[in-house]
A and B are shown apart, each in its own frame.
Chain A
Amino acid sequence: MKKNRIFTNIIDQGPVTLKAAQTRGDWGTTQEILSKGSQWIQDQVAQSDLRERSHGGEYVAKKWEKREAAYIVINACSNEPGSGTEKYLLRYEPHKVIEGALLIGAALGAHTCYICIRGEYLQEREILESALEEVREKNLLGQFQIYIHEGAGGTLCGEETALLESLEGRKAMPRVNGDRKLYGCSAVIHGVETVATIPEILRRGAPWFASLGTLHSKGTKLFSLSGHVETPCVVEEEMGVSLKELIETHGGGVKGGWGFFLAVIPGGSSTGFLPKEICNDLCLDFESLERVSSCLGTGGIVVMDKSTDIVRVTARLAQFYQQESCGKCTPCRVGTGWVFQLLERLSVGQGEKEDLDQLQDLLQRMSETSLCAFGGWAAAPVVSLLRYFQPELEHRIHMYNVASKRVKV
Chain B
Amino acid sequence: MSKAFTQIEQALSKTQRFSFTKESLIQIEKIKRKYPESKPESALLEILLLAQRQNEGWISHPALEAVAVGVNLPVMKVLEVASFYPLLSLKPVGSHCVRICTTTACWLKGSTDLGRACQKWLGIGWEETTVDGMFTLKEVPCLGDCTKAPAVQINETLRGNLNAREMTHLLQALAESVKK
Q: Which chain A residues have a beta carbon within 8 Å of chain B's beta carbons?
A: 79-84, 86-87, 114, 118-123, 147, 149-155, 166-172, 183, 224-228, 232-234, 265, 269, 300, 302, 304, 308, 313, 316-317, 320, 323-324, 326
Contacts and interface: CB of A to CB of B under 8 A. Distances in A.
In this complex, which of B36, B42, B143 has the most chain A Cβ atoms within 10 angstroms of its Cβ?
A: B42
Interface string B146-180: 11110001001010000000000000000000000
B45 A317 contact: no
Interface in B27-52: 34, 36, 39, 41-46, 49
Given A119-B49, A120-B144, A323-B141, A147 B34 contact: yes
Nearest to B103: A81
B145 interface: yes
Nearest to B102: A316
A168 B39 contact: yes
Nearest to B48: A152
In this complex, which of B36, B71, B87, B144 has the most chain A Cβ atoms within 10 angstroms of its Cβ?
A: B144
Chain A interface, >50% SS class: mixed
Contacts of B142: 79-83
Nearest to A120: B143
B81 A170 contact: yes
A322 to B, nearest CB: 11
A123 B158 contact: yes
A227 B109 contact: yes
Contacts of A226: 105, 146-147, 149
Nearest to B83: A171
Contacts of A153: 85, 87
Closest 5 CB pairs of A and B: A152-B85, A169-B41, A81-B103, A226-B146, A87-B144
Contact of B104 (A121, A170, A302): A302
Contacts, number: 127
A81 B147 contact: no
Nearest to B50: A150
A149 B144 CA distance: 18
Given A119-B87, A228-B108, 7 more contacts: A121-B144, A171-B84, A224-B147, A226-B147, A227-B105, A300-B146, A316-B103
A84 B108 contact: no
Contacts of A154: 85-86
Interface of B: 34, 36, 39, 41-46, 49, 71, 80-81, 84-88, 102-105, 107-109, 140-149, 153, 156, 158
Contacts of A269: 103-104
Contact of B144 (A79, A151, A183, A233): A79
Contacts of B141: 79, 81, 155, 320, 323-324
Contacts of B158: 123
Contacts of B149: 226-227, 232
B147 A233 contact: yes
Contacts of B45: 149-152, 166, 169
A120 B105 contact: no
Contacts of A169: 39, 41-45, 71, 81
Given A86-B144, A169-B45, A170-B41, A265 B81 contact: no
Contacts of A114: 34
B54 to A, nearest CB: 15
B5 to A, nearest CB: 38
Given A79-B141, A183-B36, A304 B108 contact: yes
A234 B144 CA distance: 12
A43 B138 CA distance: 48
A313 B108 contact: yes
A151 to B, nearest CB: 6
Given A84-B145, A168-B41, A302 B108 contact: yes
Contacts of A227: 104-105, 108-109, 146, 149
Contacts of B43: 169
B46 A150 contact: yes
A123 B71 CA distance: 27
Nearest to A116: B45
Nearest to B82: A152
B129 to A, nearest CB: 20
Contacts of B140: 120
A308 B104 CA distance: 11
A80 B34 CA distance: 28
Given A154-B85, A168-B39, A169-B41, A82 B145 contact: no
In this complex, which of A81, A83, A225, A232 has the most chain B Cβ atoms within 10 angstroms of its Cβ?
A: A81
Contact of A152 (B34, B80, B86): B86
A231 to B, nearest CB: 9
Contacts of B102: 316
Nearest to B107: A316
A234 B147 contact: yes
Nearest to B88: A152
Contacts of B80: 171
9 contacts: A79-B142, A81-B104, A84-B145, A149-B42, A171-B80, A227-B105, A227-B109, A234-B147, A304-B108
A234 B145 CA distance: 10
Given A83-B144, A84-B147, A87-B144, A302 B105 contact: yes
A319 B92 CA distance: 25
In this complex, which of A81, A119, A151, A169 has the most chain B Cβ atoms within 10 angstroms of its Cβ?
A: A169
